[in-house]
Structure formats: C-alpha cells, structure tokens
Amino acid sequence: MTARQRQVVFLVAMAGLAALYLAAIGGLPGFGHYPGAYGDVVDSVGVAARKATDVVTAVNFDIRGFDTLGEEFILFAAATGVSVVLRALREEREAPAPVEEAARRRERSRNAAVRVACMCSVGPTVVVGWNIVSHGQVNPGGGFQGGVILATAVLLVYLGGQFLTFRRISPADLLDAAEGAGAAGFALIGVGALAVGSAYLANVLPLGPSRGVVDSSGTIALISFVVGVEVAASMLVIVSELLEQTLLVKP
Amino acid sequence: MTWYPFVVVVWVLAVGLYGIVTSRHLVHQILCLAVVQSSTYLLLLAVGYRTGGVAPYFSDIPPSRTVDPVVAALCLTDVVVEATVTALLLAIAIQAHKRFGTLDPDELRQFRG
Amino acid sequence: MTPLLAVVFTLAGLGATAVVTTRQPSRQVVMLSIYGLVLAVLFFVVQQPDVALSQFTVGAVVLPIVVMLTLRKVSGNRPEDGGGP
C-alpha cells in the first residue's frame, strides 16, 4: 500500500470514528455537570475515615490501592524491559575502558556556570522530592510525582557534567535493587495486612490522632514512600541505560 | 459551548492518530502516540470537572463541592507510567536502528519475516 | 464554561496539532515539552493540581531527556562532536 492510499483509508476510517465519538459526546452530561456520586462519597470517606486531607492520594494508595499496585508493576515491567532490550547487544560492542574517556570528554564540554548551577540545585531538589513523597496524604503530591523529582536530582549531577559522579552515585546494582525493593515493598505491605487477619492492602495501621499530618492515614504514607523509591529508581534505570548506549557503546 | 472540551479531546485523538499513520520516523511516531495518550487524560479530567467545584483537598477548607477526585487518581499514575512505556518503545526503536540501520517504518517493513 | 477554560482547551488542541505536524523529531521533542506544559496548566485550571504536578515533572524532565538521548544514539553522532544531549 502506498502512502497516498494509506492516507485515504485513514481519513475515511477517522471520519467514521470521529462521527461515533461526537455522537457519544452528545450523550454525556455537559462539561461541568458531572453527577459524580463516587467523588462525593470518596470526599467524605477520605477525610472522615482515613484522616487524609488529599483525597486523590487516599484514592490512589488506599481506596483504589490494588489498581495502583497494577500500575506500579507496569512501570516496573517497562523499566526492566528497557534494560533487557538495551543490554542485549551491549557487551560485544563496548569500547575498551570507555568510562573514564567518555567522562573526560564530557567534563571538558561544560562551563563553570552550568556546573555550579546544577550542583547548587541538587540539594534543594532532593528536599522538595522527599517533601512531596512524604506529604502525599496532606497536600498535592505523593510517590509518583515525588519519585520523578528525586530522579531529577540525580540527573542534575549528570547535566552538571559529572558523568563519573553520576555513575558512582547511581550504580546499576543499587538501582536494580531499589527498583525491585520498591515494587516488592508495595506488594508486601498488602501481604502485611493479610498477616494481621485483614483484607489484602487494607489500611491496618493506626490512623494517628489528628487529620492531615504525616503520621495520619496509616499505610498511605508507607505506600507513598515505596512508590517514590520505585519511580525514582525506574526513571534512573531508564536514563542510565540510555546514557550508556549514547556515551559508551559504538554505533 | 458545553461540549467544546470534548470536541477538543476528539481532535487531539484524531490528530495524533493521523501523525502515527503518516509518520516517516519511528521516534516521531512514538511521540505521536504520546499525544494520543494525552487525549485520554483530557477526556477523564473534562468528564470529572464540575462548574464551581474546588480541588479535592481539605487541609484548610471545610468539606465542599469538589471536582471528581477519582478521575485525578486514574490520570496521575498513568502520566508517570506512560513516560516509562514511551522509554521502552524508544529502546526498541534504538534496537531496530542498530539491526537495520533505518528508522523509516516503510523501509523497516521490508525486513519483516 | 469560563473564557479561561475555553482558552486552555484551545491551546491544548493547537499544541497537539503542533506536536504532530513538527516532522523533525529533534524539534518535535521541544514542541512536546511545550505541549506538556500547556497540559499541566490545563490540569491546574480544571482544579486537579495532583495531575498537573505529575504532568509537569514528566513533561519537563523525563520525556525530553529520554527522547534526546535516543535521538543522539540513532543519529550516529559520537559524543566527541561536542554539545550535550
């Protein structure tokens, strides 16, 4: 099939699909008129029964926890998949003693202002990342967003031109272990609930005296923490695999 | 006017699919897939919006009429997961380039089988 | 539906179009990052800061860096050609 024919087939098909979608939209309640029975229930349950002031995180890590476990395993599988796909051909083509050489090339190409700016941002970024991971049940945030920010902190080291330091503070074995521990931690917190005679992933920890603080809402903070570790490790596994491909492996 | 956001969602979906079909570069194709995925977030959040609703956080406000928190929970995990899936597709594109020396989908097809 | 909502949804539609019609991947990834920023603003406007934060971190950091590294790998340039990913 030529490109021209394919385009014609697509436009016909897309016209049909769009017509169906637009017909379906006609049956929706108009924008801003969501009836929202579940949302209202969750709003009251999240605060009253979980002492979490961020209802979205309460849904994610508690009320809908099992579904999020599935999402986290998609993340885990995708990051592992990147490693498997990229490592397949690596050994045979890696140049001899390439790490230091590649690193030296990079150090030269950075100017001092960029390096200082990157290094000064690392500390604050780590603090912001952990803050967002640990306060997911209080404010907007949680393990998923905070994990990405934590990964950013390590990437700043690379962007500052310190490829060797980047390799040293994020060695592949440690990242793989953290990734596995994050994924296993979530599943094991669920098993812990089984061990004390409750349902899988039930919120069995004491909820604490007041709402909207870090030690309130039971397992939510714990799950947010392991998800943060998992997301940060997965992002770093992906980026460091790609970096090694770019810097160390001959094309 | 009350259906305008949903029409935008259909437009984003359609334009993303158009990009995938007409693409001549695997990386371009993968990024178009990311656009298609973004239409699902737009749809979910547009459905969950309520006129006059506030964000579902109760640190400093009494319980009140909020936008739907369930759709937000669906979206926020998927935004992060989508990034890793995109990275997996890019890794496969790198391997395809290594083996066949091209990233044009039409040229790649002749290597099939 | 307020004018602000109409504007951000229109921008999102235009942003998606711009991402798709930018055929050169190295330019496209910049458009994708801008589109991600527009989406993050849109999510704020529809009162979902959690999703906005998620979209903002992913769109501003992870996606561009991953795509840039991929492009560098497949473009056949060696690192000694200078510049960063």
| Residue C83 scores a pLDDT above 50 | no
Q: Please state, in angstroms and rounded to a whole number, the distance separating the CA atoms of residues A48 and A45.
A: 5
The C-alpha of B99 sits at a distance from chain C's nearest C-alpha, in angstroms, of 11
Q: Which of C49, C57, C72 sits opposite A140 (nearest CB)?
A: C49
Chain B residues in contact with C6 (beta carbon < 8 A)? 1, 4
**Lowest mean pLDDT: which of A102-111, B59-68, C14-23?**
A102-111
Residue appearing with tokens 């020396």: B101
Contact C47, B45 (CB under 8 A): no
- Which residues on neighbouring strands pair with residue A33, listed in sequence order? B50
Q: What pTM value is reported for the model?
A: 0.88
Tokens representing residue A62 in the block: 């508690």
- pLDDT value at residue C82: 39
Closest to A152 (Cβ–Cβ): which among C48, C50, C61? C61
Work out the number of other CB atoms within 10 angstroms of the CB of residue C40: 22
Contact A186, A223 (CB under 8 A): yes
Residue contact B90–C62, C-beta within 8 A: no
In this predicted structure, what is the pLDDT of residue A110?
63
Extract the residue ranges of chain A whose pLDDT is less than 50: none
In a 3-state reduction of DSSP, which class is residue B67? coil
**CA-to-CA distance for B84 and B87, rounded, in angstroms?**
5
* pLDDT of C76 above 80: no
Mutate to test the interface with C, among B9, B12, B77 (most CBs of C within 10 A): B12
DSSP state of A111: -
What is the reported pLDDT for C84?
40
Instruction: Please tell me the predicted confidence (pLDDT) of residue B54.
Output: 86
B26-61 residue pLDDT tens: 999 999 999 999 999 999 999 999 888 888 888 777
B18-25: long-range contacts at Cβ-Cβ below 8 A with a sequence spacing of 24 or more? B18/A10, B18/A14, B18/C20, B19/C19, B19/C20, B19/C21, B21/A6, B21/A7, B21/A10, B22/A3, B22/A6, B22/A7, B22/A10, B23/B105, B24/B104, B24/B105, B24/B106, B24/C23, B25/B103, B25/B104, B25/C23, B25/C25
Mean pLDDT for chain A? 84
Separation CA C4–CA B107 (nearest Å): 45
Residue C33 host element (H or E): helix C25-45
With beta carbons less than 8 A apart as the criterion, state whether C66 and A242 touch: yes
Q: In percent, how much of chain A has pLDDT > 70?
A: 90
Chain A residues near residue B96 by CB distance under 8 angstroms:
none
* C78 confidence band (pLDDT: 50, 70, 90): very low
Nearest CB partner across the interface for C66, out of A106, A144, A238: A238
Instruction: Find the residue in A nearest to B13 (Cα).
Output: A18
Q: Evaluate whether A133 touches A224 at the Cβ level (below 8 Å).
A: yes
Task: Give residue-wise pLDDT tens across range C41-50.
Answer: 999 999 999 9
CB A85 within 8 A of CB B99: no
Query: Contact, B8 vs C13, CB < 8 A?
Result: yes
C58 contacts on A by Cβ (under 8 Å): 148
